[in-house]
Amino acid sequence: MYQMVAKDSDSEFFRCPITAENSSAWLRIRRRRVNVQLQEASIDGFTILVRAVDSTRLRIGEPWMLMHDGTTLEVQAQWFFQAADGRVQIGLRRLRDLTPPPVIGGWMPRVFSRPQTPDYSSSSLVLTCGVLAMVLSLALPGVGDKLGTSSRIQSAINGLYGGIRSAIGNWI
């Protein structure tokens, strides 16, 4: 295992200790997963603790993925220190944040398209409600009977309902 000593110029940033309840994290190195304990965090990186057994599985020279508290960060090892109890303390430099942005969903699920950020300036909700109100008014017995659309819309809805009911009945 490599041992390096941090230079005085490396301590330009304030390092914040991580509480024990929030210190659980893991590293992904290619397809391997190593459980680690986060000790400190700063603007430029982290300090982690790794068990001696797990430290033998670390591959040096390539970026690692640090998974902690719902975030995914690409990190690179800067220094190692092996303590007397066998655990290894590793200084990680933050390369980039790979956490996917949160998906903000709308009121209508999208089955075949990728989720997009909603456009609240459009009047799509008003348009959808207007089309729905128009179809419902054409299906009503009073207006729909005079226009001749009531029976057609009702038979289409009954056909959809019967198809869904038979599919669920066969599935259960």
Q: Look over the chain and give the mean of its residue pLDDT values, rounded to a whole number.
A: 80
For residue 120, what pLDDT is reported? 57
Task: Give the residue extent of every domain in the chain.
Answer: 15-97, 122-170
For residue 56, what pLDDT is reported? 80
* DSSP 3-state percent helix, strand, coil across the chain (nearest 5): 35, 30, 40
**Per-residue model confidence as pLDDT tens digits over 126-145:** 888 888 888 888 877 788 88
For residue 132, what pLDDT is reported? 84
* Overall pTM > 0.85: no
Percent of the chain with pLDDT over 70: 79
DSSP conformation letters of 36-88: EEEEEE-SSEEEEEE-HHHHTT--TTS-EEEEETTEEEEEEEEEEEE-TTS-E
Give the pLDDT band (50/70/90) at residue 1. very low
Distance separating alpha carbons of residues 106 and 126, to the nearest angstrom: 14
Give the pLDDT band (50/70/90) at residue 49. very high
Give the pLDDT band (50/70/90) at residue 3. very low
For residue 47, what pLDDT is reported? 92
For residue 105, what pLDDT is reported? 64
Q: Looking at domain 15-97, does it have CATH number 3.60.20.10?
A: no
For residue 136, what pLDDT is reported? 80
Burial tier of 82 (Cβ tally within 10 Å: 0-12, 13-18, 19+)? middle
pLDDT at 69 over 80: yes
Phi, psi dihedrals of residue 110, rounded to the nearest 5°: -105, 120
**Per-residue model confidence as pLDDT tens digits over 75-130:** 999 998 988 888 999 999 999 999 988 777 666 555 666 556 666 556 777 888 88
- Over residues 16-41, the mean pLDDT reads 89
Q: Calculate helix-pair angle for 124-139, 150-171, nearest 10 degrees.
A: 100
The answer to whether the beta carbons of residues 66 and 81 sit under 8 Å apart is no
Q: How far is CA 26 from CA 12, 64, 68, 85, 153, in A?
A: 26, 10, 7, 21, 56
- Number of separate helices (H) and strands (E) present in the chain: 4, 7
